[in-house]
Chains A and B, each alone.
Chain A
Amino acid sequence: MWKEIERRESGKIRPHLFASRLKSRRVASMQLSNSKDIVSPHRGSINSLQVDLTEGRYLLSAASDASVAVYDVQQPQDYEGGGLIAKHKSILVLDKQHEEGHKYAVSSAVWYPIDTGLFITGSYDNSIKVWDTNTTQMVMNFKMPGKVYTTAMSPLATSHMLIAAGTEDVQVRLCDIASGAFAHTLSGHHDGVMTAQWSASNEWVLITGGCDGAIRFWDIRRAGCFRVLDQSHSQLGRRPPVLSRVTAKASTSKVLLGGQNTSAKTGMALRKLSYSNGTKQASAGKILAKTSSKQRLHPGMMSIRDRATAHYGAVTGLRVTEDGMYLLSTGSDSRLRLWDIKSGCNTLVNFETVRLQTNKAIQLAISPDSSHVFVPCMASVKAFDFWSGKTFMTFRGHYENVNCCWFSSRDQELYTAGNDRQILVWSPFVSQEMEEEAALDRDCWSD
């Protein structure tokens, strides 16, 4: 470590490289924190965790007993163990006693991305509430047609303030904070929507994963989704080769996605462009299939007919990498898949997951330099290497299934929470040197 500092000082290594080496060394030594403890007031399993994006200081957690709590993870309230263990208690708790609190389980709680003055909670009592943090008052209430599974706000948005809500209804709803009404709905899924994430590169693109196993990309300015991820489209590597040809797969007739359909106006001829990178031979002759239903659909809504699935089961977790290039998804088929967003292909990286929980949504975390993925696997959290899929570390500490985890890149700390109502902190190992003060005489015989 001192050698590295010396080299940085003399200019042999660049500052960014120095910082990233230090961070990766710290991540490799992560274990259950022996100096930090978060005291959780929840009486039910914890469903979501989020640290605010602006300061990285406040942790928001949502639990199944309709309670939501905020903790300060940098300043402890109390010290224990002779000043060695910092106790972080909740600075704000909202539960059933609050007159506008939720009645049933809160499935997701997210901070307003611009500052920590507002946060948004979505619950199984069919409502999404926007709260003012300082006065702990509800500012807005949106009524949903079904249980809310997920809420998301875009961290890049400068021209809209929309909350994307995924419920057990097949439509994804966008709620506008500025006006207090629903902006519009996105249809295309065939079953409830369990996860939603906004794109990290475009403020208008939303990615949702449904219980029907499909992952859809929506541009909210247009109708219908512009891409559905299909697990059989794959590419063998990080990026598709530069000279990949877009071949018209003429032998199968499938729905063309988005607004690229030239003859969509008649609704009779459907063609599909496939982005696969193998040497596919285009068979002679094009086959035009007549649509069986005579209903004329808007060209943007053609994507409803596309039944491609990304997982053999429900999609239970989604996460976009910080550079916006790759998407990770987990499914109830206990598989974790890595997708290249630009080409829409499965990169076929095999993560060694044996079992993942299937009935609830899980929250994954990715380290900012896209080197590790943290996935809750039943009662432990596993860290995988991003590109080889090998298990890097396993964090065992929870007594029951883990539902959510959040990686804080400022301090290289991982916060995990699950059905055992605890929030555990995993931080890089720092050896506690025993203080050399005069130890108190603790003998109990007379001197």
Chain B
Amino acid sequence: MAPGRSRKRKIEDEEEEREAPPLASSGSAVDPDESLEQSLTFSDTLVALQIMRAQFPRIEKVSIKPFVLRSQLYSSVMDRTQVDRELETLRRAKTIRIFKLNTGQDDHAVMFLDDYINQIDSVVKKMEEKKLLNLEAFDWFKIHVIDTRLEPNISHDDLCSLLSLGGRVKEEHVTLLINGGVIVRQLIDPGMYWFAIPSIGSVLKGLSQGRKELLGLLSRKRYKEEMMATLEKKRLRLSPLDIRFHLRDLIGSGHLKTVSTPSGLVVRVSKD
């Protein structure tokens, strides 16, 4: 179904060639009313983001909008500095939002802003079904906080002052936001809240377990390597995300490396 399934290529031009035409027709994150001027040129990172968003696996139990890990972008675009800079430009243009994840040291998830807003709306709908109060906090959050605060974290005082632009803020509003999963606290810093993707918990657990499983699978081999063609047909036991997701992530973060051989790409555990 998804284009490029037969053979995964890490050369970004060939991916673009094949993926861009079907993508243009599906119009995943492209606004149909956008003028041609705005959507005339693409940056490599933006195309890579759209490709990976289209390839995000469907998980049955959890309804979650597609997100892309930063390390996956590093695996597909050649120049990492260019990826960082383009992500920064897109973030400032409010096309995407970057979240810091708590799996590992430097994990970041990139999500399109429209997807994020839709995710928050679905959380609000679920809460309305449970007949919870103070749901206007989410609206204030969407209008005031997300629009102005582009960094992945926010301090308690800033959050309260921004929410108070919408109305009188009470402690229950902040608690509700935390329960909804849009804001989390991390142990490193007590006074800071970090933005998070709601209902992502099980997916993150699957992410870290899947990483371990895939690395273990390859390390147990005699020469610690495997052909990519055979590897991508496997299914991971412990993770709901598909193996392609994990492969891109581990290649981008440097734990695995690809070697091109006459019979195709080979994935090898990299020893530092």
Q: Write the residues of chain A forming the contact surface with B, with a CB cutoff of 8 angstroms.
A: 232, 234, 236-237, 251-253, 278-280, 283, 287, 289, 292, 307, 312-313, 332-335, 348-350, 352, 354-355, 377-380, 387-389
Q: Among the listed stretches B61-69, B78-86, B201-209, which one makes contact with chain A, having 4 or more residues with CB under 8 Å of it?
A: B78-86
- Say yes or no: is B157 at the interface (Cβ < 8 Å to chain A): yes
- Nearest chain-B residue to A285 (Cβ)? B165
Q: How far apart are the CA atoms of A252 and B162 in the complex, in Å?
A: 8
**Contact in complex: B148, A348 (CB < 8 Å):** no
A400–chain B nearest beta-carbon distance, Å: 13
Q: Which of A280, A313, A349 contacts B92 (CB 8 A)?
A: A280
Q: Which of B79, B105, B149, B270 contacts A334 (CB 8 A)?
A: B105
**Contact in complex: B157, A292 (CB < 8 Å):** yes
**Contact in complex: B83, A350 (CB < 8 Å):** yes
Interface positions, chain B 79-128, Cβ under 8 Å from A, are 79-81, 83-85, 88-89, 92, 100, 105-106
Instruction: Name the B residues within 8 Å of A232 (CB-CB).
Output: 151-152
A333 and B105 in contact (CB under 8 A), knowing A292-B157, A378-B272? yes
A314–chain B nearest beta-carbon distance, Å: 11
- Say yes or no: is B22 at the interface (Cβ < 8 Å to chain A): no
**Contact in complex: B85, A236 (CB < 8 Å):** yes
- Say yes or no: is B255 at the interface (Cβ < 8 Å to chain A): yes
Instruction: Give 5 closest A-B pairs by Cβ, nearest first.
Output: A354-B254, A278-B92, A350-B80, A348-B84, A333-B105
- Say yes or no: is B191 at the interface (Cβ < 8 Å to chain A): yes
Given A236-B88, A354-B253, A380-B272, 19 new contacts (CB under 8 A): A236-B85, A252-B149, A253-B157, A253-B161, A278-B89, A279-B92, A283-B148, A287-B161, A292-B157, A307-B189, A312-B105, A312-B188, A313-B105, A332-B105, A333-B106, A350-B74, A350-B83, A387-B81, A388-B81
Instruction: Name the B residues within 8 Å of A335 (CB-CB).
Output: 106
Instruction: Name the B residues within 8 Å of A278 (CB-CB).
Output: 88-89, 92
Instruction: Name the B residues within 8 Å of A307 (CB-CB).
Output: 155, 189, 191-192
- Say yes or no: is B139 at the interface (Cβ < 8 Å to chain A): no
Q: Write the residues of chain B forming the contact surface with A, with a CB cutoff of 8 angstroms.
A: 74, 79-81, 83-85, 88-89, 92, 100, 105-106, 148-149, 151-152, 155, 157-158, 161-162, 188-189, 191-192, 253-255, 270, 272
B191–chain A nearest beta-carbon distance, Å: 7
- Nearest chain-B residue to A237 (Cβ)? B85
**Contact in complex: B81, A348 (CB < 8 Å):** yes
- Nearest chain-B residue to A338 (Cβ)? B81
B151–chain A nearest beta-carbon distance, Å: 5
Ordered by A's residue number, 27 sampled pairs between the chains whose C-beta atoms are within 8 Å are: A234-B88, A237-B85, A252-B149, A253-B158, A278-B88, A278-B89, A278-B92, A280-B92, A289-B157, A292-B157, A307-B191, A307-B192, A312-B106, A312-B188, A313-B105, A332-B105, A333-B105, A333-B106, A334-B106, A348-B81, A350-B83, A354-B254, A354-B272, A355-B272, A378-B272, A387-B81, A389-B81
A379 and B272 in contact (CB under 8 A), knowing A234-B88, A236-B89, A312-B100? yes
Instruction: Name the A residues within 8 Å of B253 (CB-CB).
Output: 354
Q: How far apart are the CA atoms of A350 and B81 in the complex, in Å?
A: 5
Q: How far apart are the CA atoms of A305 and B105 in the complex, in Å?
A: 25
Q: How far apart are the CA atoms of A379 and B161 in the complex, in Å?
A: 48
- Nearest chain-B residue to A249 (Cβ)? B148
Q: How far apart are the CA atoms of A251 and B161 in the complex, in Å?
A: 9
B76–chain A nearest beta-carbon distance, Å: 14
A145–chain B nearest beta-carbon distance, Å: 25
Instruction: Name the B residues within 8 Å of A352 (CB-CB).
Output: 80, 254
- Nearest chain-A residue to B98 (Cβ)? A232
Instruction: Name the B residues within 8 Å of A349 (CB-CB).
Output: 81, 84
Instruction: Name the B residues within 8 Å of A237 (CB-CB).
Output: 85
Instruction: Name the A residues within 8 Å of B88 (CB-CB).
Output: 234, 236, 278, 348
B190–chain A nearest beta-carbon distance, Å: 10
Instruction: Name the A residues within 8 Å of B270 (CB-CB).
Output: 354
Instruction: Name the A residues within 8 Å of B81 (CB-CB).
Output: 348-350, 387-389
Q: How far apart are the CA atoms of A288 and B66 in the complex, in Å?
A: 38
Q: How far apart are the CA atoms of A355 and B270 in the complex, in Å?
A: 12
A274–chain B nearest beta-carbon distance, Å: 11
B128–chain A nearest beta-carbon distance, Å: 29
- Nearest chain-A residue to B162 (Cβ)? A251
B246–chain A nearest beta-carbon distance, Å: 17
Q: How far apart are the CA atoms of A49 and B83 in the complex, in Å?
A: 35
Q: How far apart are the CA atoms of A283 and B150 in the complex, in Å?
A: 13
- Nearest chain-B residue to A276 (Cβ)? B92
Q: How far apart are the CA atoms of A377 and B191 in the complex, in Å?
A: 33
- Nearest chain-B residue to A291 (Cβ)? B157
- Nearest chain-A residue to B78 (Cβ)? A390
Q: How far apart are the CA atoms of A350 and B253 in the complex, in Å?
A: 12
Instruction: Name the A residues within 8 Å of B188 (CB-CB).
Output: 312
Q: How far apart are the CA atoms of A349 and B255 in the complex, in Å?
A: 20
Instruction: Name the B residues within 8 Å of A312 (CB-CB).
Output: 100, 105-106, 188
Q: How far apart are the CA atoms of A237 and B89 in the complex, in Å?
A: 12
Residue of B148, B152, B192, B253 most packed against chain A (CB within 10 A): B148
Instruction: Name the A residues within 8 Å of B79 (CB-CB).
Output: 388
Instruction: Name the B residues within 8 Å of A283 (CB-CB).
Output: 148
Q: How far apart are the CA atoms of A389 and B254 in the complex, in Å?
A: 14
Instruction: Name the A residues within 8 Å of B105 (CB-CB).
Output: 312-313, 332-334
Instruction: Name the A residues within 8 Å of B83 (CB-CB).
Output: 350
**Contact in complex: A348, B255 (CB < 8 Å):** no
Instruction: Name the B residues within 8 Å of A334 (CB-CB).
Output: 105-106
Instruction: Name the A residues within 8 Å of B85 (CB-CB).
Output: 236-237, 348
- Nearest chain-A residue to B158 (Cβ)? A252
